[in-house]
Structure 1
């Protein structure tokens, strides 16, 4: 028996030795790219469309498919048949799907916003109509398809498609002063929307937000570029405690050409506007500056009166989402954490609660819609465990709940408009995405697309299993995962490298397929490191109390949890407690900086990429949601700021930032740099010129960054027996 065991070990070792290591170059050259469906657009009936691009002929097509068969029904438009367009990059339908808006030459502005050239394409006549000779934003059909509204130069315009005439409905738009119909920087970033105008259902009115940012302080960045002199980018950016844009709601009547300002009482933010199924009633959401008092207003477009139909308050904050859904009778669906977990609620047209649709000590993570004929609600939740996502249906009255996807892991549904079908995307830590077609009852109809070829390719590499577990510390029990070297030996000691993000409501420990960083962690494991990720207090999907415990003290409990997690992991026989490092990006960089400083007896090294180093430098909407203002809560800001703990630095520290980061400004890194210099503390630094928060634009940018970080880890984190070996690799 012993000979057989020895032979088995020898064969296994040989097989492992014959497999390849993951190279950093492969991570960023697309070697491990997954096959995926292009973003599909559900059509009326049981059809969907895809935007396809032919790399050989360089033409774009919009192709129509059947949900029932997944077969292509027709090509709606092909750019090779259009004289004015060689290709197009985006598209959107009008209501009755007789026309399209086609976009080209997209030019990014911020994270979600862009400028472009847009055409209207008539499907029957096959004619193109240029909307504007200039680049514009967010062109949107009127419901009757006779007009297109769009933004240009901070103003709103309406083009009459029948007469080709253009009406300018606002005139006061001015850069860094007044914006009409498009969000300012902080709304786009923190409330996650760009288009701030909406057509009424009868095409008679346009509701829009006006941003007066004249008193918002400006932020400037030098763009190095390639010319003799750098250029300066100047934009309005309200930091915590500073003046926000004054945002007001307006209604423009197409027939009278008159604009009315709507009174919504006292508020700081209008994070959502949406017309109800009554063309005369607009719904507007308002928040106070602390973001813990939310009102839903119904606005009458005839007399401009407004009334509150729903009020929600919280001792910490109320999150904004896109789940508000109006039914045919103007009753509505709303999601809320008011019972301690995010759940679905059903209200009548006057805002009276009919019933709570879902309940339990678990979270609804996505709301897909309501089939009014069958009175069925479709949603995604963590009922199968907080690291998993599963699709369910339930009746509006909260009965007859059904699980529609069987596999434990991450399930994401794309439903047809009538909710009769959905395409499910499934993955877990061991399974790359698989796309399958299901009917509304969850019955599997057929497989659409898989990544078997990627799985076969990865079989030739040395890959370690991502092991999920719960880590018990004195601060609580936390979700975690671990990746060990392929040739792991429990009798040896290994250096530990920790990764985390840790921001409010976030999740880094999820049972889903690899991102780019997962391959990097595999690469590090192949170099002899154990990689661990722990989601501490403040992260999401485990209830409001777990998430909101960090309120007014960002960086306190999260840092304590990472430090305690490192100590607990260091007690394991196979982990060298003297060789523990940590890294993170953005909020994760704020965390890794604090961990190295406050946990200087635990962490030997840290990498911080694009870190916040004081919440005083970050934007008002995000920061004050969790911290209130610096004027109200100075200790919360300063007692957890890495700037105030620079003298505590003992370990090795690498600071990385993009000089054109419009989100977390490079000011954060420069201010920490000055504090470290003042404390006479040695550290390493890398500034990537003209790169934004993601540090990815430009040739080999990500490759260079990850090579730099890998070298830094090898030089500063390794068990003594491994030092020579690692440095020679």
Structure 2
């Protein structure tokens, strides 16, 4: 059946080949069980909760959503839909879970109801509590589950009789726009903080965020295809406007409340929270201009905070995955930019140096830290370990699971047992291995967790290289079967090109869509210019106040440099992109029509004043303090197009009408400005579609329509 599908249909049906892939790993402290999520096939959206028993060499389902819901469809609350949109979660069933410290009990929401699973036995039951339930989390001792319902943070005893006697609210909304225990929009969308409460190691209280979004301006997202439905009200903190007010409180199961105190006026952003048995709660808070951040330890008796470390940067500071955290002997683990490199620190001591570029901390052991990083080959992201104490203290680092080829890897570890997910450019999908990593650096393979993802009907063949004076990382993809004598090819640039997202990675599946476009007769170029992650702090921060100028310049430079080595027809060049890539595509068509002859502009941020505070102000400053930066780096203003050349190039603008991240106003204002200036363009509105475009038919036809537009615009059909 798979072989009969076209790539666009298979790509859509498998949700970009993400279905059937094991993910969301937890490891029991004794290293005998691995818990994870996976659907039954590469086209099944519903994840089951699985347990892999390493001693018995078998795996079994601990929660099956089809059985738990009796075959009925899921019903998602608005809060759950919003949470999934922020996390870019497009699957169904059990999409997330949390466990107790022993990894004996798991809790998860399903259709707004609360379920718990006894993982060792593989049994599952519902706790009848008020709903709809969001983000349930067991206490470390497994006796309680805390969860959010209707903006209240509640706790329920797990019990053994199937009842929920003792369910109660620890904190309830005390005003309109107030919630407890949830991450606000800006934290989930831009800081990758998706949680709003944390259990104490002793299971006797919780650290909870109170969010008041009443100061945030309201936008209304309507679907014109359904005029009978009221618009959805969204609290959207656009650049230069108020953010939600976020505070923290310690909530005891006995009803006691202690407010946490820090200088919220100077540091309003709560970027990270960490609470482990190794020490008191740690907070990472940022100033609004993001030139300063503070690592704070919380006194759980009084709520007072104590400064542990301060970061200052005239460009910006940044939160990183997995930090701050404590080592078991209570030393602060952090990631910071120093001496031109992004380094891993334990206490005041750097454990890494250039050329290693640290991406995030994965686990902190008794003697070492497991982390992800890239080195000289920027598309090669690996798992590393560095020692900070003990006999293995080498003052350096080593790579875990060395491979004879470039790769993209991530890992989860507890004790000596690690689950490593490994991808490479030579084969599709991911290989998931369970390894024992001993203190002396020895690796032992314990098991493999199979993936049920479908095998793509085409094979991506990226050619990795660098281009131009700045050695811009690139991948070039030519049509399958292309031979040197076939002559030059029309070119399609396929970038993201902006912060937080790297496209040139040593992973086969990330190039499948690019290869499909190549097989339609294009030479496809993917280039990661300045601003994209992976090389150095200076590389990432070069876009400050110059986002449009720098990112577009690097795409042009990469294209021209590659044309000296690859069969690129520079008289027929197009560009496509989504989100930041959509902005970059529109920018290319407007400002460099001498280079680009057509553009597919997907969900673009055209007016930077309409995008959110934390992201936009980091790169452009506050609009009241530097309004010219917003003009220079936008495609439109209230007056119309910005810096448009005289030549007109055709554009296809695509936008989901239900997008609450990059709202459709961006594309509507852009289209109006193009129309007023007499510029040819097409607009493709997607009814009911968000920023993710998860619908199968929509995702498939988007690819087909883009190819037809590009061929028509470049005179290829």
Please state which band the TM-score falls in when normalised by the shorter chain.
Answer: 0.7 to 0.9
Equivalent residues in 2 for 1:532-681, closer than 5 Å: 532-570=525-563, 574-643=567-636, 644-646=642-644, 648-681=646-679
C-alpha offsets along residues 381-436 of structure 1, whole Å, 9 cap, x if unaligned? 21351110223222115536333222222242434411334434232245543333
Q: Does 1:195 align with 2:192?
A: no
Match of 2:137 in 1: 140
Relative contact order (alpha carbons < 8 A, sep ≥ 6): 1 or 2 greater? 2
**Cα drift, residue 561 of structure 1:** 1.6
Distance 2:634 2:289 in 1: 21
Give me the TM-score of the superposition, normalised by structure 2: 0.85
Match of 1:249 in 2: 248
Match of 2:430 in 1: 433
Q: Does 1:37 align with 2:43?
A: no
SS state at 1:231 partner:
coil
C-alpha offsets along residues 668-725 of structure 1, whole Å, 9 cap, x if unaligned? 111111111111212111111121112233x51111211110100110125xxxx3xx
CA contact (8 A) 2:292 2:311 kept: yes
**Cα drift, residue 289 of structure 1:** 0.5
SS state at 2:668 partner:
helix
**Cα drift, residue 490 of structure 1:** 4.5
CA contact (8 A) 1:424 1:438 kept: no
Equivalent residues in 2 for 1:155-234, closer than 5 Å: 155-161=152-158, 164-173=165-174, 177-224=177-224, 229-234=228-233
Match of 1:12 in 2: none
**Cα drift, residue 58 of structure 1:** 13
Q: Which stretch of structure 1 is more off in the superposition, 238-247 or 377-386?
A: 377-386
Match of 2:482 in 1: 487
Give me the TM-score of the superposition, normalised by structure 1: 0.84
Match of 1:692 in 2: 690
Equivalent residues in 2 for 1:275-674, closer than 5 Å: 275-277=275-277, 281-324=280-323, 325-347=325-347, 353=348, 355-372=349-366, 375-383=367-375, 385-396=377-388, 397-399=393-395, 401-407=397-403, 408-430=405-427, 432-440=429-437, 441=441, 443=443, 445=445, 448=448, 465-473=461-469, 476-485=470-479, 486-490=481-485, 492-515=487-510, 518-570=511-563, 574-643=567-636, 644-646=642-644, 648-674=646-672
**Cα drift, residue 583 of structure 1:** 1.1
Question: CA, structure 1 residues 393+550, in 2 after alignment: closer, same or farther (shift >3 Å)?
Answer: same
Equivalent residues in 2 for 1:15-94, closer than 5 Å: 23-30=7-14, 33=17, 36-46=21-31, 47-51=33-37, 62-67=49-54, 71-72=57-58, 89=94, 91-94=97-100
Question: CA, structure 1 residues 159+445, in 2 after alignment: closer, same or farther (shift >3 Å)?
Answer: closer
- CA RMSD of superposed structures (Å): 3.3
Distance 1:58 1:472 in 2: 43
Match of 1:117 in 2: 113
**Cα drift, residue 454 of structure 1:** 6.9
Distance 2:679 2:249 in 1: 54
**Cα drift, residue 275 of structure 1:** 2.1
Q: Which stretch of structure 1 is more off in the superposition, 116-125 or 654-663?
A: 116-125
Question: CA, structure 1 residues 60+623, in 2 after alignment: closer, same or farther (shift >3 Å)?
Answer: closer
Question: CA, structure 1 residues 22+642, in 2 after alignment: closer, same or farther (shift >3 Å)?
Answer: same
**Cα drift, residue 26 of structure 1:** 3.9
SS state at 1:223 partner:
coil
SS state at 1:555 partner:
helix
Gaps of 5+ in 2: 75-92, 637-641
Match of 1:705 in 2: 702
Distance 1:83 1:470 in 2: 52
**Cα drift, residue 291 of structure 1:** 1.0
Aligned length: 671
Match of 1:14 in 2: none
**Cα drift, residue 615 of structure 1:** 1.1
CA contact (8 A) 2:418 2:435 kept: yes
